[in-house]
Structure 1
Amino acid sequence: MSIRHSLLSLLAEGDRHGYQLRQEFEARTGGTWPVNIGQVYTTLGRLCRDGLAEEVGKQDDGSVTYRITPAGKAEVDTWWSRPVPRAAPDRDETSIKVALALSSPGVDVLAVLETEREEILRALQAYTRAKTRIPDHPTGGELARLLVLDQQIFTAEAQARWLDHCEQRLAATTQGSAR
């Protein structure tokens, strides 16, 4: 997830301080991905260092207000116009865990698969329950939350299917080597 581009997109709408950026990010993503305030300020520091944002004032409470620069606006416009790269897929801990379990002595791979499946099913139930709390005609943050929940459900369903596939492949491989 690009916190960098997310913060730039929010700054493109107007000057904000870090806490406002954090609140707005969480509201716009339906509260699904909480972001650490330290990460917000670290990212803002890098944006300033890279000439994409600048400090424009300090409040009495010490909070700093930031503004997007023309270079930052150009970068966020480019981000909107390009697809998210798929060449280097995200590291999926479940996939890594299963792959390592296959080659680790003494690990019950089927038990690992079952443990992961149980967690995925628990998550699916939680996502589905969360969807029931969203109105039938959502707007704004509710719509964002609904779309993010839909994505999480689709991803969890795909992972559950993949775990089933792993189990079938493992069974077929075991049967083939027993002959």
Structure 2
Amino acid sequence: MSVKQALLALLANGDRYGYELRSEFEDATGGVWPLNIGQVYTTLDRLERDGLVARSEADDARQVHYSLTDSGRAEAATWWTTPVEPGAPSREDAALKIALAVSMPGIDAEQVIQVQRSAILSRMQDLTRARHASGDRDSAWALVADAMIFRAEAEIRWLDHTAARLKQGTWQQTPRTADAPAASTTHLTKEEAK
């Protein structure tokens, strides 16, 4: 989620000043994605420049409030009804590390997988404890925690799948030669290529 869209969504509920927006964002996400106050004000400046928010004069507490313009309200409404598109695959650091481990002589890829698996299990346990400790099963934070737990479970499944394929001898390391392209260091068996 972009900070721009998050701020527009929060402002749809009424005027806010920067620290309120930051606090509401962090409350809604359980503090999982901390938001720098400088980023909030920089984004608000851009939204104002683009005609999506209007700035009010400072109140008695010297707080400058922001509100949505008609264009900002339309942009927020459009965001709610537009699906989040899965973009180009991003580089997954764990996948990259394991891909390199299975293709490098002398590297214990199974150990690399187990270290990653232990870290993910630990993170998943922390998230599960935090989610249950919050007590509010219907909060926005619970939804964020669920998403993170499900992603961690998917990564564990992938790691287990990869470890099983390694044990089956699915991958064959091919020594690199000067004329062999770098991408050919790891090969799938004919069965897996189907």
Task: Give me the TM-score of the superposition, normalised by structure 1.
Answer: 0.82
The residue that corresponds to 1:161 in the other structure is 157
Moved more, 61-70 or 74-83: 61-70
Counterpart residue identity of residue 142, structure 2:
L
Aligned length: 174
Counterpart residue identity of residue 165, structure 1:
H
Shift of 1:83: 1.1
The residue that corresponds to 1:93 in the other structure is 93
Moved more, 149-158 or 27-36: 27-36
Q: Higher relative contact order by CA 8 Å / sep ≥ 6: 1 or 2?
A: 1
In structure 2, the CA distance between the partners of 1:39 and 1:90, relative to structure 1 (3 Å rule), is farther
Higher helix content, 1 or 2: 1
In structure 2, the CA distance between the partners of 1:89 and 1:50, relative to structure 1 (3 Å rule), is farther
Q: Distance in 1 between matches of 2:99 and 2:42?
A: 34
Alignment of 1:40-51 (within 5 A): 40-51=40-51
Alignment of 1:1-179 (within 5 A): 1-59=1-59, 63-103=63-103, 107-135=107-135, 138-139=137-138, 143-171=139-167, 172-174=169-171
Native 8 Å contact 1:57 1:66 kept in 2: no
Could you list the runs of 5+ residues in structure 1 that have no partner in the other structure?
none
Task: Give me the TM-score of the superposition, normalised by structure 2.
Answer: 0.77
Superposed CA RMSD in Å reads 2.6
The structure that has the greater radius of gyration is: 2
Q: Distance in 2 between matches of 1:59 and 1:100?
A: 57
Counterpart residue identity of residue 160, structure 2:
D
Q: Secondary structure at the match of 2:66?
A: strand
